[in-house]
Amino acid sequence: MGFFTDVDNYLFRQGTSYEVYKKMGAHIVTENDVKGTRFVLWAPNAQAVSVVCETEEPDREIPMERSADGIWEVFIPQIKSGDVYRYAITGADGVKRYKSDPYSFRYQLRPDNGSVVCSLRGYKWNDSDYMADVDNTAVIDRPMAIYEVHLGSWKKEYKDEDDPDGFMNYRELGDQLADYVSYMGYTHVELMGICEYPFDPSWGYQVTGYFAPTSRYGAPNDLRYMIDTLHQRGIGVILDWVPAHFPKDDFALGRFDGTPLYESADPLRAEFPIWGTYAFDHGKPEVRSFLISSAFYWINEFHIDALRVDAVAAMQYADFSRSEWRPNIHGGHINLESTDFLKQINSELTQRTKGYLMAEDSSIERGITNDVHIGGLGFTLKWNMGWMYDTLKYLSYDFHERRYHHGELTHIPDYAFSENFILVLSHDEVNVGKGSITDRLFGSYEDKLASVKALYAFQFTFPGKKLLFMGLDFAQDSEWDFGKSLDRRLIDDPGHRDVMLTVRRLLSVYKETPTLYSDSKDSATFEWVTKDFADANVIGYIRKNPWNYSGAVLVICNFSPWHHGGYSCGVPVDGEYTRIFSTYDFIPGQGGPEELGGYPVMRCEYSWCDGKPYRLSYGLRPFESVIIKLPL
């Protein structure tokens, strides 16, 4: 029985080899008392394959032996961790190609693209307490406030004048990220694409290494240290993952053995024209084993908490970005093979690991977060693109025009409970010509900073988990640029620091208030109190548990520059109402809790209003959003 056994081969061919990375690729082993590396490759249509080792003998090629099923193997003595290698593959078309290892755990720093022998061993984890508490079945009932990060531009430190990139090491980033995220109060960090990729402007979303963290920021164990550090501070880690498509670089997966191996052979399904990439053939069992084992790899070997799956709609629809497309066997536009793949990976991952998947999905399909056994795709959470689009569109209008677009806000609850949602203000909202978050909003610069705070108050109190992209939490006033560091000097500006402190307080209130984070698909947890105050640009609602008002909070958002001194709304119970948050809390002289010695208390009066027996009056200031705790 060889290194890649008959059982390994059977599971791989069935699309159920969920840890095939432990056999495919380059593995440091001892065979017959000789230390070396065992290389295993899937290239069923190749005529010949050799390992090209960059050792003391340049361009030394060692032929591999082929099994009947197209698995190629060879053991090479003395090849050790850190050695660079490639595969020389003579394809079915007779063309010799030099390819990186699809299962490599490490690659050279771009623009080089060789694979690097790397052991999975050698790191001692210290996050056992955190890992023992992980429970993916309880995600919906726990607070989740995600800080989305692009590591290359979060912060730069140029080592010397010849350093063109200023990339920090994963270890440095881990220490500093843990400090900042802990100070602010986020529960999770989401890492934008760090699976190895060749082209910086792709931000990591055109992947060539599905089992390797990018070498831009260090070695795999450096990344483990970063995740370990975050976990020890109680911070979860989410990884962006791209199983929809891959780039056409000659050294990577495309036409790997001279044929469409990882991509579809059907020309109407082989590519995504919108990105200029190949589309994975999710109907091929070996491709499923490759992708699902990649997901297992990040969760098992790097303790990643969850994977955010990019471009789910591209996988669901056969006509996505295509003018010509192939209907499914029923004549429809749903890609049945890809949706079946998504169901399989969601089912297997949640059953066999502590990890789970989140969908970045812009489709209108329902059931993305429904269980597979009732016809859903099985994702644990889904990005709420509708909330982001509707809210930002409303806030882009002139204050006097918003009365005609009030429905952009008030119809959001109509779909808010159809999935387990995450409310996202991500990198997609502030890149490539879209401007900064303040650029997206109407008004003077001071109006925009005030509007940003009102927007965040709406986000952190509306049903759904939360995500903010780096820089948004202090309202960076320039568009995000992947090549530049965040402009942290803005934090010294009183207006921007006010935004940051407001976000910090919102994170605290959110985590302290179960009725704000115990998300479910139960619409009874949301109740309007002010829905039709369109002329004033005001909305108000109660967040509660499904049964009663115990622990409930009242939220009022004024999206206008006008003072509403006579504002009142109906409330359901008598007693003292305590304001626990205002967007004015950190503005000197505006009656924040430090100036008042605590949060103010108000009494309601018995007077029917908005269909409720009691009336609460509050003098709403321009752009003020407040959170008020109910008496019960």
The yes-or-no answer on residue 310 being catalytic is yes
Per the domain annotation, does 40 fall within a domain? yes
Cβ burial, residue 529 (10 Å; 0-12/13-18/19+): buried
Exposure of 119 by Cβ count < 10 A (0-12 exposed, 13-18 middle, 19+ buried)? middle
Q: pLDDT digits over 375-423, tens only?
A: 999 999 999 999 999 999 999 999 999 999 999 999 999 999 999 999 9
What is the domain-level CATH number for residue 593? 2.60.40.1180
Q: Span 272-284, mean pLDDT?
A: 96
Give how many domains the chain has, as a whole number: 2
Last residue of a domain, one of 116, 131, 148: 116
d(CA 117, CA 190): 28
What mean pLDDT do residues 262-276 have? 95
Mean pLDDT is lowest, of 54-63, 98-107, 527-536, for: 54-63
Asked whether residue 189 is assigned to any structural domain, the reply reads: no
What average pLDDT does this structure show over 257-276? 95
Give bridge partners of residue 626 from the DSSP assignment: 556, 582
- Mean pLDDT value of segment 110-127: 95
Q: State the distance between the two ends of the chain, measured CA to CA, in whole angstroms.
A: 68
Nearest to 380 by CA among 465, 294, 291: 465
Q: Is the pLDDT of residue 283 over 80?
A: yes
Residue 279 confidence (pLDDT) above 60: yes
**Separation in Å, CA 29 to CA 103, 150, 297:** 16, 36, 19
Please give the pLDDT value at position 56. 58
3-state secondary structure (DSSP) of residue 472: helix
- List, for residues 2-17, the tens digit of each pLDDT value: 789 999 999 999 999 9
**For residues 90 and 104, is the Cβ–Cβ distance under 8 A?**
no
Q: Is residue 291 part of a domain?
A: no
**Which pLDDT band holds residue 430 (cuts at 50, 70, 90)?**
very high
Give dist(CA 58, CA 173) in Å, integer. 36
Q: Tokens representing 603? A: 């009494």
- Which residues share a beta bridge with 240? 308
Which of 305, 360, 390, 519 is flagged as catalytic?
360
Give tens-digit pLDDT for 292-302. Answer: 999 999 999 99
Q: H or E segment at 555?
A: strand 553-558
**Quick one: average pLDDT of 99-109?**
98
Q: Is the pLDDT of residue 1 over 60?
A: no
Q: Any idea which residue has 């380059």 for tokens? A: 26
Domain extent at residue 73: 6-116
Distance CA 123, CA 223 (A): 10
Please tell me the distance from the alpha carbon of residue 540 to that of residue 225, in angstroms, as a whole number. Answer: 44
- Tens digits of per-residue pLDDT, 129-183? 999 998 888 899 999 999 999 999 999 998 887 888 999 999 999 999 999 999 9
Whether 132 and 153 have beta carbons less than 8 Å apart is answered as no
Answer whether residue 291 shows pLDDT above 50. yes
Domain of residue 68, CATH code:
2.60.40.10
Whether 499 maps to a domain, the answer reads no
CA dist 482 and 230 (Å) reads 23
Q: Is residue 259 part of a domain?
A: no
> Span 617-626, mean pLDDT?
95
Instruction: Tell me the three-class secondary structure of 366-403, residue by residue.
Output: CCCCCCHHHCCCCCCEEEEHHHHHHHHHHHHCCCCCHH
Averaged pLDDT for residues 248-253: 97
Query: pLDDT of 223-250, one tens digit each?
Result: 999 999 999 999 999 999 999 999 999 9
Is 446:499 a contact under the CB 8 Å cutoff? no
Last residue of a domain, one of 116, 139, 167: 116
CA 31 to chain centre: 42
List pLDDT tens digits, range 391-404.
Answer: 999 999 999 999 99
Among 484, 483, 501, 504, which residue's Cα sits nearest to residue 492? 501
Instruction: Tell me whether strands 538-543 and 526-530 are parallel, antiparallel or unpaired.
Output: antiparallel
* Mean residue pLDDT across the chain: 95
DSSP 66-83: E-TTSEEEEEEET--TT-
3-state SS class at 567 = coil
Q: Do residues 382 and 361 lie in contact, with contact meaning Cβ atoms separated by under 8 Å?
A: yes
- Nearest-CA neighbor of 369 among 408, 329, 419, 330? 419
Distances in whole angstroms, Cα of residue 187 to Cα of each of 164, 176, 231, 501: 33, 15, 10, 17
Query: Does residue 29 form part of some domain?
Result: yes
In a domain, 99, yes or no: yes
Cα 207-149-380 angle, rounded to 5 deg: 75
Of the candidates 196, 286, 305, 310, the residue annotated as catalytic is 310
Give the pLDDT of residue 325: 93
More confident of the two residues 595 and 368: 368
Q: Among residues 57, 84, 116, which one ends one of the domains? A: 116
| Burial bucket for residue 108 (CB in 10 Å: 0-12, 13-18, 19+) | middle
Query: Strand pairing of 538-543 and 553-558?
Result: antiparallel
The single-letter code of the amino acid at 153 is S
Residue 109 within a domain:
yes
